[in-house]
Structure 1
């Protein structure tokens, strides 16, 4: 991967870190937003607007991709990602942003086992060790002190991690023969429609608080920064950073999620929680990095988080288009 325009690789790594900072803060922003608008409605409004913005920006990719196959792929991805965000947002309403961030990150450990079920590729010993660390960490984070009960918000967050993992597996399958930027836009449209439909059927409609300055600021952050800007930053940077390094940098999202939860939400970081977070983070690092040591990277060896991001990115030509968008030259 050769950086374009003499931009050093270090600069692209900083861009990935910037994206994880944006997403880390989004856990606190979503916590405030879900107190005003119920989960399905929040996802529907957020991603309909996101889809409209990205359709306008990426129209030259979207228009030729309006085929039955690519629309179907986008529809499946959109349904899985809607279920992931919906259960994550429900979980966030019943737990803290920090716990939500770290439990969501467990999808990185789940993905190798999902690929085993889907494609027969056996997990490595590192994946198995990571799973043990992850389960131990989840127990420390999720089990209420002094009881054997797992809190509802934590259960829903773990369910969301399963859907994120399934989404990654499907992205890797559907990226062959599709314009991944276009099917990304299609999935956002499906997410938005699903959110509005589910919200209309199961939740109370948005109230007057949904037009308050505080809520509109939160929605602007989620739509413009967390959904559009961070996506562009990630995709441009991933064209120039080796996948193994990128995946580890992307895992910092959970760390920033906890940091902002402690600083802005007032979450108390007990020794028990800190130990659980440390074990989950160690599991993510072990699952992502160590299986690649000592052997040349092949496409199928790309770590889970980077595989999803690379599949979303597509190829260097697509990333170049995104660079032009980022620089306002499209």
Structure 2
């Protein structure tokens, strides 16, 4: 297989790919409706990611053999644990709060990422990073939380969902960090295998194992979509993109998942497109556009001002 020079691909292409990833993830809210009701959370995570890991390992066996090392294994395992914990907290939290609140609190990772990146990489977030992340969060609130929700309280469901958001932020930051230290494709394979193994072990210990009768044709078809597209393509693309797009920017693009989730819900599930949703969409897009353009305008203004002083 020909080796792709990921560094030669423009950052703008990775940002477009992140949008494609969020569109696919947004579609899973509707497409995976049956499978999440038929298979317990840890078992589903285990089947999803272990299958993805095995398929990717077979496809990239020569590549992985070339870049594998103790250091890479330890980093890949850590990424798998971070992502598994995030998904588990999010899923259990969903059982104790509304879907809208769960989606909103999960999306708070776009605000958390710049601060974790500050701790890990010693790169202080800019005012633009923080402001646009908060603006995006307002848009996500408008999109995710309906007027019928009883309000935002901090119970067990909300607390676990917030822990999940923190772990998603940690995962995003450490993918960016580790991809500078090891091969990102090998890290992704190891992440999948670790995450899948964690799910299978926790599922075997605490949940009811799915029976053969569970795997009807619709369930299998949804699992195939989840493994091939929502896992291998999306997480593989995300991890590669995080090596080339700053985490604070990437997290804002990833927040579009909530937008696409609603769009697919309107198109395929009959949800009504309200003024609140439209305003939420606009606010999120304004936040992303501001995060992309304001730093460049600020730098241009500073250079122009410096030139005038000279």
Question: So what's the TM-score if we normalise by structure 1?
Answer: 0.71
Deviation at 1:29, TM superposition (A): 2.9
User: What is the CA distance between 1:285 and its match in structure 2?
Assistant: 5.1
User: Which of 180, 185, 194 matches 1:181?
Assistant: 185
3-state SS of 1:215 partner: helix
Query: In the alignment, does 2:114 pair up with 1:118?
Result: no
Superposition deviation, residue 206 in structure 1: 1.3
Q: CA separation of 1:195/1:134 partners in 2, compared to 1, >3 Å: closer, same or farther?
A: same
Alignment match of 1:56 (pick from 58, 66, 69):
58
Q: Distance in 2 between matches of 1:8 and 1:274?
A: 31
Please list, as runs of the form range in 1=range in 2, the aligned pairs for 1:155-194 lying within 5 A after superposition.
Answer: 155-194=159-198
Q: 1:48 to 1:255 in 2, by over 3 A?
A: same
Aligned ranges for residues 308-323 of structure 1 at < 5 Å? none
The answer as to whether partners of 2:42 and 2:202 remain within 8 angstroms in 1 is yes
Retained in 1: the 8 A contact 2:109–2:165?
yes
* Stretches of structure 2 lacking an aligned partner (at least 5 in a row): 301-310
Matched, 1:198 2:202: yes
* Runs of at least 5 residues in structure 1 that lack an aligned partner in the other structure: 297-330
Q: 1:244 to 1:103 in 2, by over 3 A?
A: closer
- Measured after TM superposition, the shift of residue 58 of structure 1 is 1.1
Q: Which moved more, 1:269-278 or 1:242-251?
A: 242-251
Deviations 1:30-50 (A, max 9, x none): 343211101110000011110
* Compared CA separation, residues 234 and 201, structure 1 to 2 (3 A): closer
Distance 1:201 1:243, change over 3 A: closer
Residues 107 and 241 of structure 1: CA distance in aligned 2, closer, same or farther (over 3 Å) = closer
Q: Name 2:268's counterpart in structure 1.
A: 264
The Cα shift of 1:103 comes to 4.5
Q: 2:86–2:168: 8 Å Cα contact kept in structure 1?
A: yes
Q: CA deviation at 1:184?
A: 1.1
Larger radius of gyration: 2
How far has the Cα of 1:177 moved from its partner?
3.1
CA, structure 1 residues 67+52, in 2 after alignment: closer, same or farther (shift >3 Å)? same
1:220 corresponds to 2:224: yes
Q: Which of 59, 68, 71 matches 2:70?
A: 68
Residues 160/44 of structure 1: CA separation in 2 closer, same or farther (3 Å cut): same
1:107 alignment partner in structure 2: 109
How has the CA–CA distance of structure 1 residues 292 and 260 changed in structure 2, closer, same or farther, with 3 Å as cutoff?
same
SS at match of 1:295: helix
Tell me the alpha carbon deviations over residues 212-265 of structure 1, each in whole angstroms, 9 at most, x when there is no partner: 112111101101121223456667889999999987665433321111123334
Shift of residue 209, structure 1, vs aligned partner: 4.9
For the structure 1 residues 149 and 103, does the alpha-carbon distance in structure 2 shift closer, same or farther, using more than 3 Å as the test? closer
Query: 1:1-330, aligned counterparts within 5 Å?
Result: 17-92=19-94, 95-96=98-99, 103-133=105-135, 136=138, 141=144, 145=149, 147=151, 149=153, 155-231=159-235, 250-267=254-271, 279=283, 282-283=286-287, 286-287=290-291, 290-295=294-299
Q: Deviations over 1:62-91 (max 9, x none)?
A: 113332211111111110011122223334
| Equivalent residues, number | 291
> Is the deviation greater in 169-178 or in 241-250?
241-250
* 1-structure distance, mates of 2:87, 2:15: 26
Q: Give 1:122 deviation, angstroms.
A: 2.1
Change over 3 Å in CA distance of 1:147–1:232 after alignment to 2: closer
RMSD (Å) for aligned C-alpha atoms: 4.0
Partners of 1:77 and 1:167 within 8 A in 2: yes
